[in-house]
Amino acid sequence: MAIKEIKSKSKKVKKSEGGKVKRVKEEKKVVKEEEEDVSEEEEEEEKEEEEEEEEETAGEKSEEATSEKEIESFEELGVIEPICEACKAMKFKKPTPIQIHSIPVALEGRDVIGLAQTGSGKTAAFAIPILQALWQKPSPLFACVLAPTRELAYQISEQFESLGQVIGLRCAVIVGGMDMMSQSVALGKKPHVIVATPGRLMDHLEHTKGFSLRGLKYLVMDEADRLLDMDFGPIIDKLLQLIPTERRTLLFSATMTSKVEKLQRASLASPVRVAVSTKYETVKTLLQSYLFFPFKHKDTYLVYLVNEMAGQSMIIFARTCNDTERLAILLRSLGFPAIPLHGQMTQSSRLGALNKFKSGARSILVATDVAARGLDIPLVDCVLNYDIPTDSKAYIHRVGRTARAGRAGKSLSLVTQYDLELYLRIEGVLGKKLDEYPIDKEAVMLLSERVGEAQREAINEMKQLHAKQRKRKTDGITHGKKRKHNDDMDREER
């Protein structure tokens, strides 16, 4: 029995083993077939990927190859030698990303929408193609550049004149707050390039005899998102009706807002969109922090910080013209070299304040958001936000005044119990939490008595200032010289 059982068991084992061998063989066949199918599919996928890569690289290789070359010099962007020499004279060693992508397209005669951060070299990105086109076909009133602020308009004209010096460029700045008659004379000389704020340009188109933009070849809108946020929309619509439809339009903006998109559809013909880092972000070399304290001690904390950073160049941003003036007086009475800059100052005073700060004659500029955009002041060590901006984007532009061109810089925001919502919104835009600035609160409070005296002095001086302004206005009306308001760009500050 035992032998029979063993035999039957051995037969069963053989059968089971045979079955296993068959199953293994079948599985091997299936695996082989699957491997063959997979290998065929992989080969097909690889072929498709290679074809797609070839198609993509066919279009992109030239861009990549040129971008590597273009980074070396402006010549390889297609810029002519005289303008390249001007770039070297201005110490433009290498083109910036926005210049690399937008200049060749603009040189082809295409409309361009350039989206890039503040301090990215946008002015040269539109100035160089215009100057090259002017070199090839010189004509008066060739280009018009619209800017949202007077200071930015003057800065743009300076860069045009520096780059266009080799070709004998004539440039006129047409902004509010300056004499209309002298501007009319400048326009009568038929400059090649006009840099203007929209309101004053419209005034000249309506009232200056013999002046028109019917022969205009290039229209540039710099900081277009800001232009359209400042109620310039109706004026720009009128301007577009008074200039030729057959022109090149270069639209440069920090972001693509709905208003900018609407303007693009209305005024650009098959534009090429060039976007370089359109996400709102600050540079890596900028050290950002905040300070939280009760509102009643705001001036004391400001004075303490300014004293701690004595000798450094700084811009203090305030929300209103009145606060800007008051803080400048407050700091001056405490011995700090502060100067105000805001929209209710005369244009000559504004330019004077800016030049004093740029030259180092004053190390502290107390300003409204007039100074937040576009101004290139290379050596600013620190930005202090006395008031938190209501618009998170304005924060990016404010702190962009420091840590420019690869330099280090720091920004510090003064946050009270009333600013928490605005401040948290800014942190949300930045996508990170900022560090709290370390400070000795007892040392701050030691200054409170002296700051209180300075506050009272500042209030008295402000009262006298307002009394003088009211007297000037009444004198102007009685003599039939009713003063005109400042340019529309200052509306929002009031």
pLDDT digits (tens, 9 = 90+) for 374-411: 676 767 889 999 999 988 878 888 888 887 666 778 99
Q: Which of 11-25, 67-81, 201-215 has the lowest mean pLDDT?
A: 11-25
Q: For residue 260, what pLDDT band results from cuts at 50, 70 and 90?
A: confident
* Burial profile 304-322: b = 16 or more Cβ within 10 angstroms, e = fewer: bbbeebeeebbbbbbbebb
The fraction of the chain above a pLDDT of 70, given in percent, is 79
Nearest-5° angle of CA 421, CA 424, CA 427? 155
Residue 353: count other Cβ atoms within 10 Å of its Cβ: 22
Residue 472 half-sphere exposure, CB side, CA atoms within 13 Å?
8
Q: For residue 191, what pLDDT band results from cuts at 50, 70 and 90?
A: very high
Tell me what the pLDDT averaged over the chain comes to. Answer: 81
Contact 380, 415 (CB under 8 A): no
pLDDT of residue 343: 85
CA dist list (Å): 130 to 101, 106, 123, 188, 300: 16, 8, 11, 21, 50
Asked if residue 2 has pLDDT above 60, the reply is no
Give per-residue pLDDT as tens, 445-494.
999 999 999 999 999 999 998 888 888 777 765 555 444 444 443 433 33
Which helix (DSSP H) or strand (DSSP E) does residue 206 occupy?
Answer: helix 198-207
- Phi and psi, residue 365, nearest 5°: -110, 120
Contact 224, 181 (CB under 8 A): no
pLDDT of residue 471: 82
Give per-residue pLDDT as tens, 298-341.
999 999 999 999 989 999 999 999 999 999 999 999 999 999 99
Q: For residue 96, what pLDDT band results from cuts at 50, 70 and 90?
A: confident
Contact 233, 240 (CB under 8 A): no
Q: For residue 279, what pLDDT band results from cuts at 50, 70 and 90?
A: low
